[in-house]
Structure 1
Amino acid sequence: MSDASPNRIPVAVIGGGQAGLSISHYLREAGIAHLVFEKKTAMHVWREQRWDTFCLVTPNWQCDLPGHPYDGPDPDGFMKRDEIVAYLDRFRAKVDAPLREGVSVLRVGRRADGAFDVATSDGDYVADQVVVASGGYTVPIIPRMAERLPAHVRQLHSEQYRNPQALPDGAVLVVGSGQSGAQIAEDLHLAGRKVHLAVGGAPRCARFYRGKDVVTWLAEMNYYEMSVDQHPLREGVRDNTNHYVTGRDGGRDIDLRKFALEGMQLYGLLDGLDGGSVTFRPTLTAALDEADRVYNGINAAIDRHIAEAGIAAPPASVYTPVWQPAAEPTALDLDAAGVTAIIWCIGFRPDFAWLDVPAFNGAGHPKHRRGVAAETGVYFLGLPWLHSWGSGRFSGVSRDARYLADRIVERLKAPEEVRSDGIRQFVAAG
């Protein structure tokens, strides 16, 4: 294909979620021609992969997409699924991105001239630069042991769960206690279903503390401005599990100990499967204690902020466990317990198999600095902790997108230089 091909574009954006549309906004603002490729429909995840009672776990005021801050009547509330979809539909209309929906990107590879071949289900393109905005939550994780479960036990991933009524009658085993697992377990529990929950290592935090939403306190403390380079864990923070809490019914804590008092059965980490019996590691007590330690630690940090700033606030408090496991349950006979469904809430993994360029580290993770890949002309956007806590959320993706758009513009305007190996690259003037 020659450079004169009508399929030559300055920038190809892969992914039509909020990240892809955010950078499209800034590229269009800068007058940079581009295409956004989306294998399904723009922001389909919010429509198709969220349960009926799903809501944000951060206040609405944190929704701040490019040119589209939260525009509803309840900034301190938590939008429900349909409200989120409507908010994003309005954002999409404002951006009016050059979208190619229903088009899968099959391969992106480097050309001899330094540009990229972009092979899609709708033909081939050549792009000078590529933005990978397909996200970090692409492929549902389901353990191989799931293949050995009895056929009469229905299995689904958290992205497939909709409501308790859609499941067969009987008890439900929820595996994983991150944000999705804890909220789905609560949804089933409130509906009167018997829930067995395999508790992982996810931390938790308070919803409200000393008169404010904890997110508001953390924003005042500039936590959300902290970059990954400033975080004590550095890049290790990208592997952290999100704290479980909920915005349901105006927002509240999720306390698994309280659920246990009310009849939910808690276990440690899922360990294996022996016939119709599921086994667990004896990690429940440690997991609950660690989640509470983080909970109290966040509140203690808020206490210090209040004291140092001289802020008038309600008195401090420390969470005291309302329940302790009498023993560590290590097995569950599915049939004897009447378990008819298992919901896997153990997360997702990204899928970059189509990106055939050396832009990854030894562990297979994108190698980048603030989204600018080590491979010239490649950028990542929308990943958790790409730059800060908000990078994979509505609160920080706009800043990341603007930063990358500026880098793209700089490269397009820079003089061209040929490396000794003959591969073309653009370098900044001076």
Structure 2
Amino acid sequence: MSNVTLKPHYSTVVVGGGQAGLSASYYLGKAGVDHIVFEKKTAAHKWKSERWDAFCLVTPNWQCLLPDHPYDGADPHGFMVRDEIVGYLDRFIDKVKAPVLENTEVTLIERDGSGFRIETSAGVVGADAVILATSLYANPFIPRAAEKLPESILQLHTASYRNPEILPEGEVMVIGSGQSGCQIAEDLHLAGRRVHLVTGNAPRCARLYRGRDVVDWLTDIGQYDITIEHDGMNKKKHDTNHYLTGRDGGRDIDLRKFAQEGMELYGRMETVSGGKMIFRPNLAKNLDEADRVYNSINALIDRHIADRAIDAPPPSVYEPVWVPERETTELDLEAAGVTSVIWATGFTPDWSFVSLPIFDGTGYPVQRRGVTGIPGTYVLGLPWLWTWGSGRFLGMAKDAEYIVDDIVSFIGLNRETRKRVAAG
């Protein structure tokens, strides 16, 4: 891939060689659009270098529907583990044969007449259109409170965690109860490590309900096709994903059960002071809200089954198996025997190279179905770009195809405009 020869101008430049950028390249190639994909590292590298050993999908394999590349294994209702996911992506890379220039950083995108000027570590090129496919997960985020932790404590972000064996002996503090935080906490818990887990506002979801995987039910209901323009869904793009797991065939993650088994749970972290971690007294609230979402999703499935008279096992409502007797609001980490902290605090996007007025006050690109207000500028691969399926293997093809269709029309119009201007 990296032996692609750089040209002075392309019809379209794609920034990012992950599944989003590769999907865009697939449709650009199919439409005959001259293009190049710039990748700062290597194609799909995050799946290879920023996932822990026991990582697996949380949605069934059949939802892997990259362009012309559906799941090609023998277990459509299973959950691929990291190396299987990498294999699936490598086969997609081989199939697409995208013109990817790897180890090439884009440092500036700016307007240049009716097109764009793109500065990269390999040189400067021009383009009629650009697709920003770098996702929201460019840089691991660790709060400044980490600087106040004792130097004796090892600190890792989830992007660097691999397995329990890389951590020193002692207890482990995991900060964050989203999908990664909960799954890593479980990974450590199953390995016999004593775990402290700081919770947040992440909701949870059942794995199986009334005889089927909840994802199957939600697909039938049409949840993954709900657009961001549906009642109040626009705010969903900033929501934390529901926590559950595909590990060992798939199961719920119930933090209350972990607590019964000895895991220590806390409310949201406020700060670190004097070697102590300070927490909000909102653990009970966090657990209750996660369970409320869990039960509301199941109730949605109940209504679907009742409305269609589907023969299924009886409904149920989750009842807490454990409740906190008290809220711990501070913990001396060294005194508690905590020797490592894992920051499951997410990532931040990097749009610093984009010198185009496409962002809102929060730094999020303003777009509709990937099309921004600056003609010829597109974004791809974001959660809730258009539907709940956007940003996932499930919805990537539809989003990429829509954007490329728009680019084909735009490039045609843009060329005609330039011809008219040149003709006077």
8 Å Cα contact 1:7-1:126 kept in structure 2: yes
Task: Tell me how far apart the structure 1 counterparts of residues 345 and 22 of structure 2 sit (CA, whole Å).
Answer: 28
Task: Tell me how far apart the structure 2 counterparts of residues 198 and 415 of structure 1 sit (CA, whole Å).
Answer: 52
How big is each residue's C-alpha offset from its partner over 1:47-72, in whole Å with a ceiling of 9 and x where there is no partner?
A: 00000000000000000000100000
Match of 1:168 in 2: 168
**Structure 1 6/336 Cα, relative in aligned 2: closer, same or farther at 3 Å?**
closer
Match of 1:51 in 2: 52
Deviation at 1:349, TM superposition (A): 1.3
Match of 1:349 in 2: 348
8 Å Cα contact 1:135-1:350 kept in structure 2: yes
Task: Tell me how far apart the structure 2 counterparts of residues 371 and 275 of structure 1 sit (CA, whole Å).
Answer: 46
**Structure 1 176/403 Cα, relative in aligned 2: closer, same or farther at 3 Å?**
same
The 5 Å alignment of 1:342-381 reads 342-381=341-380
The 5 Å alignment of 1:400-411 reads 400-411=399-410
How big is each residue's C-alpha offset from its partner over 1:3-47, in whole Å with a ceiling of 9 and x where there is no partner?
A: xx9411100000000000001000000000100000100000000
Match of 1:144 in 2: 144
Match of 2:287 in 1: 288
The 5 Å alignment of 1:196-275 reads 196-230=196-230, 232-275=231-274
Deviation at 1:233, TM superposition (A): 2.1
Task: Tell me how far apart the structure 2 counterparts of residues 405 and 288 of structure 1 sit (CA, whole Å).
Answer: 43
Any idea what SS the aligned residue of 1:271 has? strand
Deviation at 1:417, TM superposition (A): 7.2
Residue 158 in 1 paired to residue 191 in 2?
A: no
Residue 324 in 1 paired to residue 323 in 2?
A: yes
8 Å Cα contact 1:172-1:342 kept in structure 2: yes
Deviation at 1:244, TM superposition (A): 0.1
**Structure 1 167/55 Cα, relative in aligned 2: closer, same or farther at 3 Å?**
same
Deviation at 1:376, TM superposition (A): 1.1
Task: Tell me how far apart the structure 2 counterparts of residues 275 and 6 of structure 1 sit (CA, whole Å).
Answer: 56
When normalised by structure 2's length, the TM-score is 0.96
The 5 Å alignment of 1:382-393 reads 382-393=381-392
**2:74 partner letter:** P
Deviation at 1:415, TM superposition (A): 5.6
Match of 1:35 in 2: 36
The 5 Å alignment of 1:70-81 reads 70-81=71-82
**1:351 partner letter:** D
Any idea what SS the aligned residue of 1:160 has? coil
Task: Tell me how far apart the structure 2 counterparts of residues 256 and 6 of structure 1 sit (CA, whole Å).
Answer: 54
Deviation at 1:117, TM superposition (A): 0.7
Any idea what SS the aligned residue of 1:291 has? helix
How big is each residue's C-alpha offset from its partner over 1:392-418, in whole Å with a ceiling of 9 and x where there is no partner?
A: 110001000000000000111226576
How big is each residue's C-alpha offset from its partner over 1:351-408, in whole Å with a ceiling of 9 and x where there is no partner?
A: 1000011111122210100000111110000001000111111000100000000000
Task: Tell me how far apart the structure 2 counterparts of residues 234 and 217 of structure 1 sit (CA, whole Å).
Answer: 20
Task: Tell me how far apart the structure 2 counterparts of residues 425 and 352 of structure 1 sit (CA, whole Å).
Answer: 33
**1:45 partner letter:** K
Of 328-337 and 48-57, more deviation after overlay is shown by 328-337
Of 43-52 and 358-367, more deviation after overlay is shown by 358-367
How big is each residue's C-alpha offset from its partner over 1:166-185, in whole Å with a ceiling of 9 and x where there is no partner?
A: 00100000000000000000
How big is each residue's C-alpha offset from its partner over 1:100-145, in whole Å with a ceiling of 9 and x where there is no partner?
A: 000000100111x221111000011001100000111111110101
**Structure 1 415/241 Cα, relative in aligned 2: closer, same or farther at 3 Å?**
closer
Percent of pairs with identical residues: 58
Task: Tell me how far apart the structure 2 counterparts of residues 183 and 425 of structure 1 sit (CA, whole Å).
Answer: 56
Match of 2:126 in 1: 126
Match of 2:3 in 1: none
Match of 1:14 in 2: 15
Task: Tell me how far apart the structure 2 counterparts of residues 172 and 234 of structure 1 sit (CA, whole Å).
Answer: 36
Match of 1:103 in 2: 104
**1:142 partner letter:** I
Match of 1:61 in 2: 62
Deviation at 1:159, TM superposition (A): 0.6
Task: Tell me how far apart the structure 2 counterparts of residues 252 and 6 of structure 1 sit (CA, whole Å).
Answer: 50
Deviation at 1:164, TM superposition (A): 0.3
8 Å Cα contact 1:376-1:425 kept in structure 2: no
How big is each residue's C-alpha offset from its partner over 1:177-215, in whole Å with a ceiling of 9 and x where there is no partner?
A: 000000000000000001000000000000000000000
Any idea what SS the aligned residue of 1:161 has? coil
Task: Tell me how far apart the structure 1 counterparts of residues 414 and 44 of structure 2 sit (CA, whole Å).
Answer: 36
Task: Tell me how far apart the structure 1 counterparts of residues 327 and 11 of structure 2 sit (CA, whole Å).
Answer: 58
8 Å Cα contact 1:179-1:242 kept in structure 2: yes
8 Å Cα contact 1:114-1:425 kept in structure 2: no
**1:31 partner letter:** G
Any idea what SS the aligned residue of 1:356 has? coil
Deviation at 1:158, TM superposition (A): 0.6
Residue 186 in 1 paired to residue 186 in 2?
A: yes
Task: Tell me how far apart the structure 2 counterparts of residues 340 and 142 of structure 1 sit (CA, whole Å).
Answer: 18
**1:337 partner letter:** A
Any idea what SS the aligned residue of 1:295 has? helix
When normalised by structure 1's length, the TM-score is 0.95
Task: Tell me how far apart the structure 1 counterparts of residues 322 and 134 of structure 2 sit (CA, whole Å).
Answer: 42
Any idea what SS the aligned residue of 1:386 has? coil
Match of 1:91 in 2: 92
Q: Which runs of 5+ in 1 are unaligned?
A: 419-423
**1:360 partner letter:** F
Task: Tell me how far apart the structure 2 counterparts of residues 253 and 40 of structure 1 sit (CA, whole Å).
Answer: 35
Alignment: residue pair count: 415
Deviation at 1:157, TM superposition (A): 0.4
How big is each residue's C-alpha offset from its partner over 1:230-279, in whole Å with a ceiling of 9 and x where there is no partner?
A: 1x323101011100000000000000000000000000000111111111
**1:283 partner letter:** N
